[in-house]
Amino acid sequence: MLRISDLFAPAAEHQLVCRLFVKGLALVYTIAFGSLAVQITGLVGPDGILPFQQLLQRAHTLDGYAAVWRVPTLFWLDSGDVALQGATIGGVALALLLLLGFGRPTLVLIALFVLYLSLYQAGQIFMSFQWDYLLLEAGFLAIFLAAAPTRLLVLLYHWLLFRLRFQSGFFKLASGDPSWHDFSALDYYFETQPLPHVGSWYAHHLPHWIHASGVGFTFFAELIVPFFIFLPRPFRLFAAVTTIVAQILIVATSNHNFINLLTILLCLFLLDDRIAKRLLPAAWQPQTMPTLVARRPLHATLTGAGALFIVVLSVATMVVTQVTRSLPAAVYALADIAPAYGIGNVFHLFPTMQTERQELEIFGSYDGETWQKYEFRYKPGAINAVPRFVVPHQPRLDWMMWFVPPQSPRTDYWFTPFLQALRENRPAVTKLLAHNPFAGKPAPQQLQVLAYRYRFTTAFERAASGNWWQAELLGEYPDVPPRRP
């Protein structure tokens, strides 16, 4: 029988696994910070779409100094372009130090967490994604892991992976979305996901029975397999293999940045050193491992407090999403902490499925007669352009454009400031695009946004035309109806 004291014992069977995870996490941090480095100032810099300094000013006006706790970020000191850019570059440098084995891992991991949390807050809606707070929680736990891997920390990573997988499946059913209930979701997903790549086109044209089987596999992998995480070793190994296979299939058919790599890394904790030594080339294995010793009371206390904090937050956030009756104020207060600090959040990947794809194209003009088109870097545009593979980069402007056609005030409030930035021809914003037709010229006098219905061409159509997409003009946005759910 497992005793409480056993939780604080060294993770003897996971020494190598823990070291590999920290190295893998350093790689993910490098990718995440590097991806932000090329876009953060255009998104939230002083001349960006949603200047972070304006949010900080409003927060201070409303809450005074308490706003520092509500919006935890280093950018209270300075939220200019140099500070934002410096944080991303500093994050890359620190992550590389961790990856290469320089510096004190615990201190480096603390700095990485603080920097990414600061950028997470600065990014506002552009960083309100599940992979961002998955990285934050994994990074928070790694601070304790680097200091002393214990059984409790391994269990907390099991809890994180369980929530990520099970909640993703749970919300697919709880949403009531008919395409998940009738097993037709994958008939639409490959075509309507935010950023398809060339593999999406091929997957879209697979037979319906394969798509339906894929939905069945998804439900099995997300609703049944997560419980194997807490069962004996053979079940955990099966859960790891199943989850890794699911992530590889997603990468082969979708652009989802670094979340799939991070999910695979979390599966390391379902293995043990016996498996890791078999899979890892001998040259990559450390010659010696540090001697495991009992942890000091301070470390055990901090780890236990962190564990309690995460479990309580994660339960509170889940309860708030599911209970319709009034709950004690303390529960709502706890649920508010999770999105602020990126710890204890719920995960709900694609709980509903779009059944058609609408794309917005933006045009500028000096006279209202001759229109020139702005071109995005990654989202579907030219119908003959090959859908690009951009993993592990996260192009956040292109991704957010996917949310605009439903015309939801909750997700598209940034779009008007974006158009205003184009009207002013701000370089910080236009550099996020592949082509600005007014670069080096006066700003356009008028803008026009047209909505199109996009669908993948069939194999016959592509052979005849060379096009990957068919586009049907719907009208001028926002006068067109929102796309159908």
Structure confidence by residue, pLDDT tens digits, 386-417: 999 999 999 999 999 999 987 677 778 899 99
Is 142's pLDDT higher than 70? yes
CA separation for the pair 122, 310 (Å, rounded): 23
Is 432's pLDDT higher than 90? yes
pLDDT confidence tier of residue 280, bands split at 50, 70 and 90:
confident
**171-182 average pLDDT score:** 94
**131-145 average pLDDT score:** 95
CA separation for the pair 439, 427 (Å, rounded): 8
Is 337's pLDDT higher than 90? no
CA separation for the pair 60, 66 (Å, rounded): 8
CA separation for the pair 33, 238 (Å, rounded): 33
Among 314-318, 334-338, 417-421, where is mean pLDDT lowest?
334-338
Instruction: Indicate the pairing of strand 371-373 with strand 446-456.
Output: unpaired
pLDDT confidence tier of residue 180, bands split at 50, 70 and 90:
very high
Q: What are phi and psi of 203, to 5 degrees?
A: -65, -35
**429-455 average pLDDT score:** 95
Q: What are phi and psi of 174, to 5 degrees?
A: -65, -25
DSSP 326: -
Q: Average pLDDT, whole number, for the chain? A: 92
**127-149 average pLDDT score:** 93
pLDDT confidence tier of residue 287, bands split at 50, 70 and 90:
low
135 half-sphere exposure, CB direction, 13 A CA radius: 30
Is 243's pLDDT higher than 70? yes
Share of the chain above pLDDT 90, in %: 76
What tens digit of pLDDT does each residue of 453-471 get?
Answer: 999 999 999 999 999 999 9
Three-state SS for 484?
coil
Among 199-213, 372-386, 394-408, where is mean pLDDT lowest?
394-408
Q: Is the dihedral of CA 464, 469, 470, 473 positive or negative?
A: negative
- pLDDT for 365 equals 94
CA separation for the pair 261, 257 (Å, rounded): 8
**45-74 average pLDDT score:** 95
Is 119's pLDDT higher than 60? yes
- 50: which residues sit within 8 A by CB, 6+ positions away? 43, 44, 124, 125, 126, 414, 417
- pLDDT for 293 equals 53
Residue type, 127: M
Among 6-20, 47-61, 84-98, 104-118, where is mean pLDDT lowest?
6-20
DSSP 270: G
- pLDDT for 336 equals 86
**250-267 average pLDDT score:** 96
Structure tokens of 407? Answer: 């015309």
**341-361 average pLDDT score:** 92
Three-state SS for 298?
helix
- pLDDT for 2 equals 56
Is 485's pLDDT higher than 50? no
**363-368 average pLDDT score:** 94
Is 483's pLDDT higher than 60? no
Q: Is 460 exposed, middle or buried (0-12, 13-18, 19+ CB in 10 A)?
A: exposed
**364-387 average pLDDT score:** 95
Residue with tokens 């045009």: 363
DSSP 124: G
- 470: which residues sit within 8 A by CB, 6+ positions away? 383, 454, 455, 456, 457, 461
446-456: strand order across its sheet: 371-373, 357-365, 446-456, 469-476
Residue type, 282: A
- pLDDT for 295 equals 57
In terms of pLDDT, which residue wins out, 69 or 300? 69
CA separation for the pair 65, 387 (Å, rounded): 47
Among 142-151, 220-229, 296-305, 429-438, where is mean pLDDT lowest?
296-305
Radius of gyration for the alpha carbons in the chain, expressed in angstroms and rounded: 24
Beta bridge partners of 373: 363
Structure tokens of 90? Answer: 């500093």
pLDDT confidence tier of residue 292, bands split at 50, 70 and 90:
low
